[in-house]
Amino acid sequence: MIISRELIKRSFPFLAKSIHWCKLRANELPTIGRHLSRRRKQRKRVKSGADRIKVVFICQYIPAWSKCKALYEALSEDSRFELILLCVPNRIHSNTLDNPDDMSNDTFDYFFSHGYNNAVNALTGKNLWFDLHTVSPDYVIYNRFDRAMPTPYTSFVVSSYAKVCLLKYATVLLRAEESMMDQKFAVNTFMFFAENDGKRDEFLRITSLLHTLKLSSAICCGIPGVENAFRAKGSISNSWSFSQHSFRAIYAPRWTTDPVWGGSSFLKYKQTFFDIADSQPEVDILVRPHPLMFSNFINTGLMSAEEVEDYKKECDDRPNICLDPEKEYLATFWQSSVLVCDFSSMIIEYYVTKKPIVYLTYDEGIEYNELMSAMLKGCYIVNNEDELKQTLMMLLSGRDPLVSIRSAVCEKVLLQGDNVKASENMKRVLLEEYRN
């Protein structure tokens, strides 16, 4: 007699349901022991009279620091917390350094040079990493998943001795992104700081058993990018040091031409911006491509290394166009006149300024979520070079017919509720969960 799956289901329904349940929880079950071990260690440390709550921010992709900055500042102002910035080189793929012989660490250089005296260089030697376990962290905060981390800093390893917290740097704007949570990272996570109810519920579905056992949780804390952008008002940016005029346009193309993720306008419009710079010398243009764009175009054959260098030289040869040299960008937003961009979560942050946004879209049937759809009503959507030039000339003349729509969306949607106090929400949770 052949025992089939259907026969088992009919004959042993409880067994079949148990097998199905185990398959659904396959990622969670192996992590329970590590979570329990970590909890025992941390409770013992708390009982021993540890003075301050030790929080480690894993810093690697510097533009993403803007999402963590408000939380860092809120914690640094509270004497109950001790903070460490673990600076990891941003040249790691599949948990391995691209070049083990290269001992440079631009991440550490950046934070140390900007006055962060609690910055620690993660790279201590050839294939040698700072032992994070030795500082006995209570919380370790990530904004990226494991593939970009060296093995000692993956969530699997760190979750055995510290509470892993996830604060994602990208805000969800496409419906396709509703299922982009890394499930293996999620089950190692103690606390997920979600931007909305949907992302929180998705995380809890993945970690339902751990949540039931009080080993993992999530809170809808608001959109950190909104708070951080609002707090950056009045900051000074060096990005505009080349600028001699009052009308300042930022051009922010995407890193990939894949239409599923919005596509990149760069190859279509790169000459157009040179034409605008040449014909309108009173317009200053700051080009801020995604940090991965040029390397991705070279790797995929869309541009050669020589073509990239030629493009950079053409920017250098013009007094009113410049490639953005800065890592952070929120202060740059406030000192600009308009953002011209592809699909990007930075649209949310720029929206806080209430300044005009020119959206370079591809008609590829992309399905936006409700937040993006609401924001697009206040954006100038253009489809070709002529529309781009006409829109910029209209804005240069002082006309901005969509300003009231942007202002209303900003006030009624973005600058409301948890979005303006995300860092305080996260700080409160860290304090509440410290002894758990």
DSSP secondary structure string, 73-87?
HHHHTSTTEEEEEEE
Name the pTM for this structure: 0.87
pLDDT tens by residue, 65-113: 988 999 999 999 999 999 999 999 998 988 889 898 999 999 999 999 9
What CATH number has the domain bearing residue 385? 3.40.50.2000
In a domain, 240, yes or no: yes
In a domain, 434, yes or no: no
pLDDT tens by residue, 178-237: 556 888 999 999 999 998 888 899 899 999 999 999 999 999 998 998 999 999 998 889
In a domain, 17, yes or no: no
How many angstroms separate the CA atoms of 287 and 342, rounded? 12
Q: Are residues 213 and 259 in the same domain?
A: no
Average of per-residue pLDDT across 363-381: 85
Domain hosting 283: range is: 233-417
* 195 and 222 Cβ atoms separated by less than 8 Å: yes
How many angstroms separate the CA atoms of 217 and 137, rounded? 19
Q: Are residues 392 and 272 in the same domain?
A: yes
In a domain, 255, yes or no: yes
In a domain, 359, yes or no: yes
In a domain, 428, yes or no: no
pLDDT at 51: 77
Residue 433's alpha-carbon distances to 25, 52, 212, 244, in angstroms, are 24, 14, 15, 51
**Nearest residue to 337 (alpha-carbon basis) of 269, 400, 246:** 246
Burial pattern 143-166, b for ≥16 Cβ within 10 A else e, equals bbbbebbbeebbbbbbbbbbbbbb
Token duo for residue 433: 């969960």
Q: Are residues 307 and 394 in the same domain?
A: yes
pLDDT at 219: 92
In a domain, 112, yes or no: yes
Q: In this structure, how many other beta carbons lie within 10 angstroms of the beta carbon of residue 17? A: 11
Portion of the chain with pLDDT greater than 70, in percent: 91
Q: Are residues 212 and 272 in the same domain?
A: no
Q: Are residues 250 and 297 in the same domain?
A: yes
Q: Are residues 216 and 246 in the same domain?
A: no
SS3 192: strand
Q: Are residues 327 and 351 in the same domain?
A: yes
Q: Are residues 42 and 109 in the same domain?
A: yes
Q: Are residues 293 and 411 in the same domain?
A: yes
Secondary structure of the chain: what % helix, strand, coil (to 5)? 45, 15, 35
Number of structural domains (the chain) is: 2
pLDDT at 320: 97
What CATH number has the domain bearing residue 98? 3.40.50
